[in-house]
């Protein structure tokens, strides 16, 4: 670690969300230019700055100084103040107004803004409303700078300053100094860590019960982010003592405090193997409401008797075979009959078992009988794929339920249900407990709900494992499709997917540069470095030459990990350089986005109707504004600077992000150094994303590790138990 100081010359990039900043700094007596990177709220040209960090070499941008702490001094000379105010840092003050402020107040300009902002009305053209607006913006800027300085003084990353300010506004400093443990509840995830660091550094002696309660909330939110619905009480207390030194007595009193305030929910353990014994289960209230709500609603629907009159005199199997010119298997016929007879049904099966054909048939039967049928899926890409497959419009579940991004609320509910008699949901394995709770709550009591998905794929990103739990409960009719259709059985991808699901060793072919008939190949590599070299060559030269695939568009690289030579971060940088070289674009946090780059959207944006995992191509950049334009299957979406953190390069993505999508060709590194992430369901999910070609880059040992690891991280959930105890 070393310290350098100088003056900010130019801001290259600044995220309004995280305050991650890339800037040019004048340092040393010769005022040499230095690129600095780090979290810097309120940064502006003209500021004097002293930073603590270390020199790093970025693979694309070269030498940079990555700082962890920064001390910023406002300019005191006229030229520095002019540059500072005219930089656009304060909304409403541009270069022209900055010059007017300097002319009116000189070197006292910043003191006037601090203490007498009403004097701005002395400047011609500034009225009362504009002066008040500038004063608000200035107070915002000062508050974030104060928070940043406070956090750094207590050894905490300045990156959290923006999040804390958004939560508390101008009251943030009072919360930090007087009641820091409020952060544990108000900022799930890191709030407790920040508060505890402040308390330790300032040598505060918080009430042990208050600290214990804050620690419990922190661990529960962490647990939920890992997919769990609850925390066993004994494990919770052990973790509190292990991580934070909280004794059991304080933990018990802290938990009692949370239970009394309604901030936690506790129920008796059921001794079903979910934890070591029958200890009590501690829930966040929202997750307990979701789990029990799903169970009660599905049980109530199962006890209802939907009106069968519309289905009388229909021979669905015969009708569908005539309409689609297909012959349904006995399994499909039984599933179709079972779905028609039950208010709630599950259809599950691997690739090639006819789930798609069956969904088409079910929708057509109900529609021909006069039922209002609605198709839905958890993500935008899965909904579009369902639309393509069935020829009928499918919606995301969020859109179906009328989700409002601004409020986080849904239009549709038990009092205002979805106007459909039949709701068919594809890719149901991706639905977490909270979303399922809203879906079943907005489904009419006498409607039919049909969940379709491959239960062997990865579990949802959010808490719970709903589809697997519903199947395990035994309360809902489940139709397992196991027969692989003859045409599908010819596919090496389908055959090997089922081999992997059963724990059998797949049978890949070796890459043959003279054959384009291969569908499932293994290219030997024993280290991540070897795998990365091979992947870049495959994606840029070999596969386009052999199979005629479009580089950067038809080939999707998937990886089990983010970091390392064969992780998504490094592979994206190498693939961008190889597939889209020599272009200048717009710099963001870790990328430079250029025209023709393949990009992935990172979080649901309902205003733009672009969703987590959607893949697009950059079609235009406007560096002066700056703005990016991205094409998503013919839809042009614009991103302004403060939205760039919603994008990342999409040449290589994680297997989790690929769920619900299909690609012409998939390349997957499989090396033993990734052993922590090598699981059977991850390998299975990855190869079922490919339509025509899978290339595994690795070795048989790594594949064997994945096949043997058929115990994915246990998800603590009681949905199956609640379903079993609800109703008759």
Q: What is the pLDDT of residue 277?
A: 47
Given pLDDT bands bounded at 50, 70 and 90, which one contains residue 177? confident
d(CA 404, CA 303): 32
Give the pLDDT confidence score for residue 685 in this predicted structure: 93
Position 505 scores a pLDDT of 93
Whole-angstrom distance, CA of residue 552 vs CA of residue 537: 12
Q: Which two tokens stand for residue 161?
A: 């300053």
Nearest to 550 by CA among 579, 584, 516: 579
Q: Which of 99, 128, 152 is the last residue of a domain?
A: 152
Give yes or no for a contact between 483 and 329, defined as CB atoms under 8 angstroms apart: yes
Q: Which domain CATH number covers 36?
A: 2.40.50
**Taking 60 as the threshold, does the pLDDT of residue 308 lie above it?**
no
423 and 561 together in one domain:
no
Q: Are residues 462 and 389 in the same domain?
A: yes
- Report whether 450 contacts 419 (CB < 8 A): no
Q: Are residues 471 and 571 in the same domain?
A: no
CA distances from 369 to 85, 375, 438 (A): 69, 17, 28
In the three-class reduction of DSSP (H, G, I as helix; E, B as strand; rest coil), residue 39 is classed as strand
pTM score, whole prediction: 0.79
Write down the pLDDT at residue 273.
Answer: 45
CATH assignment at residue 447: 3.40.50.300
Task: Kindly tell me the sign of the dihedral angle through the C-alpha atoms of 429, 430, 431, 433.
Answer: positive
Tell me which residue of 644, 638, 643, 663 sits closest to 653, measured CA to CA. Answer: 663
Quick one: pLDDT at residue 330?
A: 87
* Mean predicted confidence (pLDDT) in 498-504: 92
The percent of residues in the chain predicted with pLDDT above 90, rounded, is 42
DSSP 502: T
Select from 99, 120, 152 the last residue of a domain.
152
Residue 392 forms part of a structural domain: yes
pLDDT digits (tens, 9 = 90+) for 183-218: 888 887 778 888 888 888 777 777 899 899 999 999
Whether residue 467 contacts residue 473, with contact meaning beta carbons closer than 8 Å, is answered with no
Count other Cβ atoms within 10 Å, centred on residue 372: 14
Poorest-confidence range of 284-288, 444-448, 506-510, 598-602? 506-510
Angle at 637 between CA 632 and CA 639, to 5 degrees: 125
Of 368, 371, 362, 372, whose CA–CA distance to 340 is shortest? 362
The CATH number that applies at residue 207 is 1.10.10.2220
Contact 23, 40 (CB under 8 A): yes
Q: For the residues 52-78, what does the mean pLDDT come to? A: 80
Instruction: Using pLDDT thresholds of 50, 70 and 90, give the confidence band for residue 16.
Output: low
Is the residue at 626 inside a domain? yes
CA distances from 188 to 163, 182, 281 (A): 11, 10, 20
Residue 276, pLDDT score: 45
Report pLDDT for 467.
96
Model confidence over 83-96: pLDDT tens digits?
777 766 676 777 78
Q: How is residue 5 written in tokens?
A: 């100081």
Do 338 and 269 reside in the same domain of the chain?
no
Question: In this structure, are 97 and 220 located in the same domain?
Answer: no
pLDDT at 148 over 80: no
What was the pLDDT predicted at 711?
Answer: 72
pLDDT band at 423 (very low <50, low <70, confident <90, very high): very high
- pLDDT computed for residue 70 by the predictor: 80
Angstrom distance (rounded) from CA 227 to CA 461 = 7
- Say what the pLDDT of residue 147 is: 79
Structure confidence at residue 439 (pLDDT): 97
Query: With contact defined as beta carbons under 8 Å apart, do 46 and 39 qualify?
Result: no
Residue 242 has a pLDDT of 93
- 235 close to 198: Cβ distance less than 8 angstroms: no
Q: Do 595 and 721 share a domain, yes or no? A: no
Same domain, 181 and 139: no
Q: Is residue 232 part of a domain?
A: yes
Q: What are phi and psi of 727, to 5 degrees?
A: 70, -170
Q: Work out the angle at residue 336's Cα, subtended by the Cα atoms of residues 294 and 378, and round it to the nearest 5 degrees.
A: 40
The reply to whether 375 falls in a domain is: yes
- 181 versus 536: the higher-pLDDT residue is 536
Together in a domain, 181 and 114: no
Does 578 have pLDDT greater than 90? yes
Owner of token pair 């009106």: 307
Expressed as residue numbers, the domain containing 620 is: 504-708
Among the listed residues 191, 181, 179, the one whose alpha carbon sits nearest the alpha carbon of residue 212: 181
Strands 448-453 and 344-349: parallel
- 185 and 219: one domain? yes
Q: Could you read off the pLDDT of 696-717 as tens digits, one per residue?
A: 999 999 999 999 988 766 789 9
User: To 10 degrees, the CA torsion angle through 472, 473, 476, 477?
Assistant: 40
Please give the pLDDT value at position 235.
Answer: 93
Average pLDDT over all residues of the chain: 86
pLDDT at 139: 82
- What one-character DSSP code corresponds to residue 308? -
Domain shared by 587 and 692, yes or no: yes
pLDDT at 318 over 80: no
Three-class SS state of 362: helix
Residue 495 lies in a domain: no
Residue 386: in which H helix or E strand, if any? Answer: helix 380-390
Question: What are the residues whose beta carbons fall under 8 Å from the beta carbon of 136, sequence distance 6 or more?
Answer: none
**Number of domains the chain is built from:** 4
| Range name among 177-181, 276-280, 419-423, 462-466 with the lowest pLDDT average | 276-280
**CA separation, residue 49 to residues 6, 9, 23, 113, 500 (Å):** 6, 11, 11, 21, 56
Task: Answer whether residue 125 shows pLDDT above 70.
Answer: yes
What are the CA-CA distances from residue 128 to residues 31, 120, 136, 600, 700 (Å)?
Answer: 41, 9, 12, 45, 73
pLDDT at site 341: 87
Question: Do both 520 and 629 map to the same domain?
Answer: yes
Cβ(371)–Cβ(310) below 8 Å? yes
Among 120, 152, 184, the domain boundary falls at 152
* Selection from 465, 471, 411 nearest residue 441 by Cα: 411
Burial 398-432 (b: 16+ CB within 10 A, else e): bebbebeeeeeebebeeeeebebbbbbbbbbbbbb
491 falls within a domain: no
Confirm whether 291 is domain-assigned.
no
For 157, residues 6+ apart whose C-beta sits below 8 A from its C-beta are 39, 68, 151
**582-592 pLDDT, tens per residue?**
777 887 756 78
Distance CA 303, CA 309 (A): 18
552 within some domain: yes
Q: Are residues 395 and 514 in the same domain?
A: no
């Amino acid at each position: 670690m070393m310290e350098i100081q100088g003056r900010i010359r130019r801001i290259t990039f600044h995220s309004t969300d995280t305050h991650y900043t890339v800037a040019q700094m004048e340092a040393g007596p010769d005022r040499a230019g230095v690129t600095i990177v780090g979290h810097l709220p309120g940064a502006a040209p003209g500021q004097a700055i002293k930073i603590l960090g270390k020199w790093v070499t970025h693979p694309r941008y070269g030498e940079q100084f990555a700082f962890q702490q920064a001390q910023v001094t406002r300019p005191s000379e006229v030229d520095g103040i002019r540059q500072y105010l005219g930089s656009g840092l304060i909304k409403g003050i541009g270069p022209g107004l900055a010059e007017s402020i300097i002319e009116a107040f000189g070197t006292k300009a910043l003191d006037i803004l601090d203490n007498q902002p009403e004097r701005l009305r002395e400047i011609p053209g500034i009225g009362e409303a504009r002066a008040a607006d500038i004063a608000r913006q200035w107070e915002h800027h000062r508050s974030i700078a104060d928070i940043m300085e406070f956090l750094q003084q207590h050894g905490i990353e300045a990156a959290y300053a923006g999040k804390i300010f958004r939560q508390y506004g101008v009251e943030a400093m009072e919360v930090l100094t007087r009641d820091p443990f409020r952060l544990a509840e108000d900022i799930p995830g890191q709030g407790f860590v920040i508060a505890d660091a402040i308390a330790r550094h300032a040598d505060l002696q918080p009430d042990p019960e208050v600290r214990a309660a804050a620690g419990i909330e922190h661990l529960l939110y962490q647990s939920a982010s890992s997919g769990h619905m609850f925390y066993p009480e004994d494990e919770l207390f052990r973790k509190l003592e292990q991580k934070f030194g909280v004794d059991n007595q304080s933990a018990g009193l802290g938990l009692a405090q949370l239970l009394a305030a309604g901030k936690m929910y506790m129920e008796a353990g059921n001794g079903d193997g979910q934890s070591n014994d029958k200890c009590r289960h501690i829930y966040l209230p929202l997750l307990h409401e979701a789990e029990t709500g799903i169970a009660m609603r599905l049980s109530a629907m199962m006890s209802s008797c939907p009106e069968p009159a519309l289905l009388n005199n229909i021979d669905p199997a015969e009708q569908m075979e005539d309409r689609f010119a297909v012959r349904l298997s006995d399994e499909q016929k039984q599933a179709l009959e079972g779905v028609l007879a039950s208010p709630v049904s599950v259809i599950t099966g691997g690739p090639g078992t006819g789930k798609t054909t069956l969904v088409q048939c079910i929708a057509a039967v109900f529609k021909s009988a006069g039922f209002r049928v609605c198709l839905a899926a958890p993500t935008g890409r899965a909904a579009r794929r369902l639309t393509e497959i069935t020829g009928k419009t499918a919606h995301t579940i969020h859109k179906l339920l009328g989700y409002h991004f601004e409020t986080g609320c849904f239009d549709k509910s038990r009092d205002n249900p979805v106007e459909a008699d039949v709701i068919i949901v594809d890719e149901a394995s991706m639905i977490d407990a909270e979303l399922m709770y809203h879906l079943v709550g907005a489904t009419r009591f006498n409607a039919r709900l049909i969940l379709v998905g491959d239960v062997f794929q990865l579990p949802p990103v959010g808490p719970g494992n709903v589809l697997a739990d519903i199947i395990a409960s035994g309360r809902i009719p489940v139709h397992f499709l196991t027969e692989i259709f003859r045409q599908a059985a010819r596919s090496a991808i389908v055959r090997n997917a089922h081999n992997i699901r059963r724990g059998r060793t797949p049978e890949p072919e070796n890459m043959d540069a003279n054959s384009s008939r291969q569908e499932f190949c293994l290219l030997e590599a024993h280290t991540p470095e070897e795998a990365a070299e091979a992947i870049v060559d495959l994606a840029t030269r070999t596969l386009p030459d052999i199979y005629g695939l479009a580089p950067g568009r038809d080939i999707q690289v998937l990886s089990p990990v983010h970091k390392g030579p064969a992780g998504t971060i490094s592979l994206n940088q190498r693939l961008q350089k190889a597939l889209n070289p020599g272009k200048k674009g717009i710099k963001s946090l870790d990328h430079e986005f250029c025209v023709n780059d393949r990009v992935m959207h990172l979080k649901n944006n309902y205003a733009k109707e672009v969703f987590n995992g959607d893949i697009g191509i950059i079609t235009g950049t406007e560096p002066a504004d700056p703005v990016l334009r991205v094409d998503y299957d013919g839809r042009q979406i614009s991103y302004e600077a403060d939205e760039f953190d919603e994008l990342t390069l999409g040449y290589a993505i994680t297997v989790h992000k690929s769920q619900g999508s299909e690609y012409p060709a998939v390349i997957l590194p499989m090396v033993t150094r990734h052993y922590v992430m090598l699981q059977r369901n991850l390998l299975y999910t990855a190869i079922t994303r490919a339509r025509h070609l899978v290339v595994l880059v690795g070795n048989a040992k790594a594949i064997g590790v994945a096949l043997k690891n058929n115990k994915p991280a246990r998800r603590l959930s009681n949905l199956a138990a609640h379903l079993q105890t609800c109703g008759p």
